[in-house]
Amino acid sequence: MKNKIIDLIDETIEELDKEIISGILEIPPKEDMGDFAFPCFQLAKIFRKAPNMIAEEIAGKIEVTKDLSKVAAMGPYVNFYVNKEIYVKEVLRKIGKNYGSSKIGEGKTICIDYSSPNVAKNFHVGHLRTTIIGNSLYHIFDKLGYHVERINHLGDWGTQFGKLIVAYKKWGSKEAVEEKGIPELLELYVKFHKEAEKDDSLNDQAREWFVKMEQGDEEALSIWKWFKDISLVEYKRIYNILNLGFDHYTGESFYRDKTGAIVDELTKKGLLEESQGAMIVNLDDYDMAPCLITKKDGSSIYATRDLAAIFYRKENYHFDKCIYVTGLEQKLHFAQVFKVVELMGYEWAKEQLIHVPYGLVSLEGGKLSTRSGNIVYAEDILKESVSKIKEIIEQKNPDLENKDDVARKVGIGAIIFNDLYNQRIKDVTFTWEKIHSFDGETGPYVQYTYARAASVLRKTGITEVGEIDASLITDETSVALLKEIDRFPEVVKTAAERLEPSVVSRYVMAVAQAFNRFYHENQCKVEDENLMKARVKLVIIAKQVIRDGLDLLGIQCPEQM
């Protein structure tokens, strides 16, 4: 319909091309102002007339077609009123089982590197953001037909393991680690830092143990692998709670035997320089600090392993884009690494390597830290959220079936929705009262709307509707709901282009709000069978779009609440 209006304007005004017309065509803020509005400000200089006079002339020249019920000038705007019945038919015709899906990604591969917790450290609330955002981007690109490789680049290599081995050998025991798992390892890690403040030689010992790991020392690698196996069990339990998974758990250690080739290539291409015994790539010409490639003891660093990972992924997955979902504080690191790939002569680095940063996450305003031990575990947050929702259910609907399952879906959904509702670059704070509200802009509100739609279908006994009389759902709230539903395919594409899940979450909220207005003004269980089927069809479609939209966020929908 928008394209038809653009064509009409284009036929009337020779001075503007279709692209410009499309860019300035607006959606009026009020229903009584029509469905589209064309502002005439740009034409004032061309025609040397006031915009409102130009609007009058254009409106007078445009012939009303069967697709339009009215064209009228409103001040400096030309307002277009779409034929509601034709519009309803157009929208209904487009909606099928895979509505919102696309084939634009067919034959293309996207790698998404996300979650990536540091082994031997508990999965804390700060890890939730990368995991939730990355999982949503996976669903969005998958819906557009891309083949997506979900990669968990575990932080399972580095000097921190030298520290942990020192701490374990000095103050730990096999029995305590086997009994307590990650909490015991974390306690040892925190103790190491406290002791190292008093005795700096501990840091030297840690570096020595890491060099042993790099050189293949059997004892060092055996202890390290034990720590890693304990950690993976913990992480997979959290992923199971979040109802998500990965295709690869290839962490930093996977690339340790591949860094030599990177160093060799950098050397051959004359990119390496010595700096205080370490080897670097100088990035002064690009207003960046140097990219450290090997430390003075010859051991690799995470930048080296990230470089190795990029080339491994390119060779094995043939990605069209490789996306990294990490905190904003790693912006410089990825800018350095990507620039090094580019300087090595690989032009694809400019377009295909993408860092997706996000803001901090906090609980009651406190920043989270690992070293001090002042951390909030993700599992505790998730379980508490489920528990609080269970309490609300007990108060409001104690006879609800499958209470535990509903509490899990709503409790986890509340956390995810709260994270994804604002732009990812913004900081996120957990406030229980806010995220668990069934009235505000929250996950429970949207899930409750879905359950309300499901309830309508149960009460009417109708789950499927064929052809309907479109004229029966041309009232204001029905058309407003269809307008929101109509946007879904474009919303998915926009979210992918911007790498921004909040585009989807805000859209789903808009659909839920439009549905609730429709629900309050249009009774579905009525005696007129044709009217009931027409309204129920709209309920079925809205329910489908809400479910599919929440799926893109990684949120499940209960049928009853």
pLDDT at position 370 over 50? no
Amino acid (1-letter code) at residue 207: R
In 205-224, which positions are buried (b, 16+ CB within 10 angstroms) versus exposed (e)?
A: bbbebbbbbbeeeeebbebb
Which pLDDT score is estimated for 374? 56
Stretch 420-445: mean pLDDT? 91
Stretch 133-151: mean pLDDT? 98
Stretch 392-406: mean pLDDT? 94
Which pLDDT score is estimated for 245? 96
Q: Please spell the DSSP secondary structure of 51-108, one letter per residue.
A: HHHHHHHHHHHSPP-TTEEEEEEETTEEEEEE-HHHHHHHHHHH--TTTT--STTTT-
Candidates 35, 104, 45; CA nearest to 74 is 35
Stretch 137-152: mean pLDDT? 98
Interatomic CA distance for residues 213 and 224, integer angstroms = 8
In terms of DSSP H, where are the helices of 103-217?
125-143, 159-171, 174-180, 182-198, 201-214
Contacts of 487 (CB under 8 A, 6+ apart): 507
Contacts of 256 (CB under 8 A, 6+ apart): 157, 214, 300, 305
Angle between helices 403-420 and 443-460 (to 10 degrees): 130
Q: Are 150 and 190 in contact (CB under 8 A)?
A: no
In terms of DSSP H, where are the helices of 348-466?
349-352, 378-396, 403-420, 432-435, 443-460
pLDDT at position 2 over 90? no
Q: Are 25 and 6 in contact (CB under 8 A)?
A: yes
pLDDT at position 366 over 80? no
Per-chain mean pLDDT for the chain: 93
pLDDT at position 77 over 60? yes
Amino acid (1-letter code) at residue 66: K
Which pLDDT score is estimated for 364? 64
pLDDT at position 147 over 60? yes
Domains of the chain and any CATH numbers: 2-82 (3.30.1360.70), 109-363 (3.40.50.620), 399-553 (1.10.730.10)
Stretch 245-268: mean pLDDT? 94
pLDDT at position 367 over 80? no
Interatomic CA distance for residues 352 and 97, integer angstroms = 32
Interatomic CA distance for residues 241 and 408, integer angstroms = 9
Q: Are 307 and 341 in contact (CB under 8 A)?
A: yes
Question: pLDDT > 70: what percent of the chain?
Answer: 98
pLDDT at position 369 over 70? no
pLDDT band at 296 (very low <50, low <70, confident <90, very high): confident
Candidates 161, 65, 6, 101; CA nearest to 493 is 101
Interatomic CA distance for residues 339 and 101, integer angstroms = 34
Contacts of 218 (CB under 8 A, 6+ apart): none
Question: pLDDT > 90: what percent of the chain?
Answer: 84
Stretch 525-548: mean pLDDT? 97
* Torsion angle, alpha carbons of 342, 345, 347, 348, to 10: -80
Higher pLDDT, 126 or 416: 416
Tell me the backbone φ, ψ of residue 425, rounded to 5 degrees: -70, -15
Interatomic CA distance for residues 70 and 62, integer angstroms = 10
Stretch 472-487: mean pLDDT? 96
Active site residues: 121, 124, 127
The lowest-confidence range among 93-97, 340-344, 410-414, 488-492 is 93-97
Candidates 132, 400, 388, 394; CA nearest to 241 is 132
Reduce the DSSP state of residue 429 to 3 states and report it.
strand
Helix (H) or strand (E) holding 304: helix 302-317
Interval 24-73: pLDDT, tens = 999 898 888 999 999 999 899 899 999 999 999 999 999 888 899 999 99
Interatomic CA distance for residues 399 and 167, integer angstroms = 52
Q: Are 528 and 173 in contact (CB under 8 A)?
A: no
Stretch 189-218: mean pLDDT? 93
Q: Are 437 and 396 in contact (CB under 8 A)?
A: no
pLDDT at position 321 over 70? yes
CA distances from 370 to 28, 204, 329, 373 (A): 50, 21, 16, 5
Contacts of 528 (CB under 8 A, 6+ apart): none
Interatomic CA distance for residues 305 and 157, integer angstroms = 9
Q: How many residues does the chain have?
A: 561
User: Counting beta carbons within 10 angstroms of the beta carbon of residue 325, is it exposed (0 to 12), middle (13 to 18) or buried (19 or more)?
Assistant: buried
Stretch 439-467: mean pLDDT? 96
pLDDT at position 373 over 70? no
Q: Please spell the DSSP secondary structure of 213-273, one letter per residue.
A: HHTT-HHHHHHHHHHHHHHHHHHHHHHHHTT---SB---GGGGTTTHHHHHHHHHHTT-EE
Interval 228-252: pLDDT, tens = 999 999 899 999 999 999 999 999 9
Amino acid (1-letter code) at residue 75: G
Candidates 120, 185, 188, 131; CA nearest to 157 is 120
Reduce the DSSP state of residue 189 to 3 states and report it.
helix
Interatomic CA distance for residues 232 and 215, integer angstroms = 24
pLDDT at position 295 over 90? no
The lowest-confidence range among 11-20, 286-295, 317-326, 516-525 is 11-20
Which pLDDT score is estimated for 372? 46
Token pair, residue 319, equals 């990605």
